Amino acid sequence: MDVTKLASGLDTVWVVLTAAMILLMEGGFALLEAGFVRQKNAVSIIMKVFVDIAFGALIYYIFGFALMYGKDAGGWIGTSGFFLKGDLSHIDLSISHETYWLFQCAFVIAVISIVSGAVAERVSFRAYILYAIAMTGLIYPAAGHWIWGSGGWLGRLGMIDFAGSAAIHALGGFAALAAAIQIGPRIGKFNPDGSANIVPPSNLPLASVGAFILWFGWFGFNSGSTLSASNGAIGHIAVTTMLAASAGGAGCIVFTMMRYRKADPPSVINGALAGLVGITAGCAYVSDAAAIAIGIVCGIAMVLATEFLESRRVDDPVGAFAVHGVSGSLGTLAVGLFAQPGRIQEAGHAGLLYGGDWRLLGIQLLGLAVVAVWGFGLTWIALKGINAIVPIRVSRDEELIGLDVGSHGVPAYSQDQDFIEWSRVKP
């Protein structure tokens, strides 16, 4: 038995298993979103998750991956690897290009799933498919190339984003914000005087278990991003991931008990997720204590951001921007504060609080700004364009009936009416 072959085998199973864990996160997203929305839209939001994973994987296979990780052109875009063919020799890993693709594919599906929550309960299914193609085929691959692609300009500047607080979560979060604003609030969410009504989640147990599945998958997300089992940081990454998530959850429990006099379940669920999002950029580079601080700050910021959005009459049904946009941003910047010199390989890189200068924080801020503007702007443009072809919002009647019966002809939950002819049109 050859040791190099053994090491390659180990890295392969590590990446395949963690990729599978990330893909299971789609089940987590489906449960989280189905639990947070109203019953009448629970299936429709899950169908969007199916779009994410089905169309997302195919589009990323055909050209998304090539644009992101193909041979660099000017720091802006990849140009090889369509259908995983062509010159990919610049990707020099112990795992095969196919295995690498699978892991990256799990990432792109997560990005688009972030957006699905923000437009829940009112987006047209056809329009959503078109947007999902735009996001997984261009918007994310381009931004991803700048940060992670070989030769990408933000990466060359020294931007650090280990597993994607910026590339995945801030991008997805700002895209979600643009989508939520452009599509407008759900009917009845805001009163004429501007005050907001609370939409009680239809199924909090489902939403909770969705969060636990996401938490599980995040160990794959962050630890798996080493792409090699020989990477000595794996244990540390898993620990900072755990601590930030727990701190986000505990922080939200305490904070909502103080602020609302009650531990608020949706906030606690999202608070743990906010901690996970926040640690994603720095999980390999910050200390345990910093991870806890990041978790607490992101959890509390999520609650405040949720309130702020409501006060601005932006309707984001599952808190996609508050969780992914805000915590993704904070996590990206936190690297500039907390990165420890010993954990970062490259010279000259250290967080401001750990002996570094303002340079890293500045680069992080620049990268974040670029990603936020790109994610928001391109999504705005894409939806405007799509709206000219297929209206992005369903009709008022369909929204009131609910998208499950309205768009898909079947309710999420059926009582024991024995046999009813549903509206599925048979040939």
| Contact with a second copy (CB under 8 A) among 74, 345, 347, 414 | 414
- From 31, 24, 25, 26, select the one nearest 207 (Cα to Cα): 31
Q: Out of 31, 147, 183, 305, which residue is the one contacting a second copy (CB under 8 A)?
A: 31
Helix (H, G, I), strand (E, B) or coil at 162: coil
Cα distance between residue 277 and residue 218, in whole Å: 9
According to the binding rule CB under 8 A, does residue 32 interact with a second copy? Answer: no
Binding string to a second copy for residues 125 to 154, with x set by CB under 8 A, is what?
xx--x-------------------------
- For a second copy, give the closer residue by CB, 171 or 253: 253
Which position among 75, 79, 82, 84 is part of the footprint of a second copy (CB under 8 A)?
84
- SS3 state at 73: strand
CA distance 45 to 58: 20
Is the Cβ–Cβ distance between 292 and 305 less than 8 Å?
no
Local structure of residue 358 (DSSP, 8 states): H
Residue nearer to a second copy on the CB measure, 27 or 377: 27
Q: What distance in Å separates the CA atoms of residue 418 and residue 363, rounded to the nearest whole number? A: 62
What is the C-alpha radius of gyration for the chain, rounded to an integer number of angstroms? 21
Residue 342, SS3?
coil
d(CA 145, CA 82): 15
Which residue from 154, 159, 171, 264 is in contact with a second copy, where contact means CB under 8 A? 264
For 402: left if phi > 0, alpha if psi spans -120 to 50, otherwise beta; the answer is left
User: Which of 77, 159, 171, 247: binder of a second copy (CB under 8 A)?
Assistant: 247
Q: How many residues bind a second copy (CB under 8 A)?
A: 133
Near a second copy by CB under 8 A: residue from 79, 150, 182, 231:
231
Q: E strands along 266-396, which residues?
A: none
Q: Which CB atom, from 146 or from 215, has the smaller least distance to a second copy? A: 215
| Cβ at position 96, least distance to a second copy in Å | 4
Stretch that binds a second copy, among 41-49, 72-80, 137-145, 331-339 (CB under 8 A): 41-49
Q: Which two tokens mark 213?
A: 């599945």
Shortest spacing between CB 285 and a second copy, in angstroms: 14
For the bound state, the minimum distance from the C-beta of residue 279 to a second copy, rounded and expressed in Å, comes to 13
Beta carbon of residue 376, minimum distance to a second copy (angstroms, whole number): 28
The CB-of-361 to a second copy minimum distance in angstroms stands at: 26
Region from 241-249, 343-351, 377-385, 390-398 binding a second copy, contact rule CB under 8 A:
241-249
Q: Hey, what are 422's tokens?
A: 């549903």
Residue whose entry in the numeric block shows the structure tokens 């996001």: 135
Distances from the Cα of 162 to the Cα of 25, 220, 225, 301, 389, angstroms:
19, 13, 7, 22, 38
CB atoms < 10 A from the CB of 192, how many? 5
Q: Taking CB under 8 A as the rule, does residue 40 contact a second copy?
A: yes
Residues 371-410 that bind a second copy (CB under 8 A): 402, 404, 407-410
Task: Find the helix packing angle between 265-279 and 288-311, rounded to 10°.
Answer: 130
State which of residues 123, 130, 268, 314 lies at the interface with a second copy (CB under 8 A).
268
Nearer to a second copy, 187 or 366 (CB): 187
Q: Is the dihedral of CA 320, 321, 325, 326 positive or negative?
A: negative
Beta carbon nearer to a second copy, 147 or 237? 237
303 binds a second copy (CB under 8 A): no
Site residues for a second copy, window 44-83 (CB under 8 A)?
46-47, 49-51, 53-58, 61, 83
Shortest Cβ 170–a second copy spacing (Å): 24
Site for a second copy in 1-30 (CB under 8 A): 1, 3-7, 9-10, 12-17, 19-21, 23-24, 26-27, 30
Q: Is 60 helix (H, G, I), strand (E, B) or coil?
A: helix
Query: 180, 250, 334, 392: which one contacts a second copy (CB under 8 A)?
Result: 250
What count of Cα atoms within 13 Å lies in the side-chain half-sphere of residue 150? Answer: 16
**Residue 314 engages a second copy in binding (rule: CB under 8 A):** no
Closest CA to 222 of 299, 169, 289, 150: 169
- Strand segments, DSSP code E, in 14-139 are 72-73, 77-78
Part of the chain binding a second copy (CB under 8 A), chosen from 176-184, 207-215, 332-340, 359-367: 207-215
Binding range to a second copy, per CB under 8 A, among 65-73, 161-169, 252-260, 357-365: 252-260
